[in-house]
């Protein structure tokens, strides 16, 4: 059964990693953003003040690639660099434009998930949420997660 759990998780991660799904999401949100930069702005929204190194590690791309993409996102007004306490570490936050964009993306993502889970009852959706939150907590080292 453990391997089946891994396989299911692998398929879920694969779904959310598909460039085509990101393209559809951006189109539905009416956002003109390069597809490879979507994980960056979503991660910055989730972790304001994240460093370039942390972004690279969490997204699974090399530091120089992420740094170049972040530079473009800053130049085009999606991100802002935070004040540097350590000159070696760059940290970024969403700009007001980036915040508005993320809200559009979240609304489009909610609509897409709602469509895909349309056959789930409210009880099933609640159970799914509970199990996913618990799994997320455990995978992130929060073993004393309480429901």
- Measured over the CA atoms of residue 89, residue 66, residue 95 and residue 74, the dihedral's sign is positive
The per-residue pLDDT for 145 is 57
CB within 8 Å of 78: residues ≥ 6 apart? 33, 37, 41, 94, 95, 97, 98, 101
Greatest alpha-carbon pair distance for the chain in Å reads: 52
* Residues 91 and 84: beta-carbon distance below 8 Å: yes
Q: From start to end of the chain, where are the E strands?
A: 50-51, 79-81, 91-94
What does the DSSP 8-state code read for residue 11? H
Q: For residue 84, name the pLDDT band (cuts at 50, 70, 90).
A: confident
pLDDT at 68: 95
Domain covering 2-116: architecture: Orthogonal Bundle (1.10)
Order of strands across the sheet with 91-94? 50-51, 91-94, 79-81
Query: How would residue 124 be classed by pLDDT, with cut points 50, 70 and 90?
Result: very high
Q: Tell me 86's DSSP state.
A: S
- Sorted by sequence, the CB contacts under 8 Å of residue 98 that are 6+ apart come out as 41, 44, 45, 73, 77, 78, 79, 80
Q: What's the whole-model pTM score?
A: 0.83
What's the pLDDT score for residue 144? 66
Estimate the share of the chain in helix, then strand, then coil, as percent rounded to the nearest 5.
65, 5, 25
């Amino acid at each position: 059964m453990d391997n089946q759990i891994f396989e299911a998780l692998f398929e879920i991660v694969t779904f959310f990693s598909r460039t085509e799904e990101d393209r559809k999401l951006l189109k539905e949100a009416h956002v003109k953003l390069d597809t490879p930069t979507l994980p960056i702005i979503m991660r910055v929204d989730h972790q304001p003040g994240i460093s370039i190194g942390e972004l690279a590690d969490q997204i699974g791309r090399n530091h120089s690639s992420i740094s170049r993409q972040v530079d473009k996102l800053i130049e085009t007004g999606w991100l802002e660099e935070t004040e540097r306490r350590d000159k070696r570490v760059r940290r970024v936050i969403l700009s007001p434009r980036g915040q508005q964009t993320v809200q559009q993306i979240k609304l489009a993502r909610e609509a897409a998930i709602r469509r895909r889970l349309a056959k789930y009852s409210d009880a099933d959706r609640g159970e799914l949420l509970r199990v996913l939150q618990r799994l997320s907590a455990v995978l992130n080292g929060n073993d004393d997660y309480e429901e």
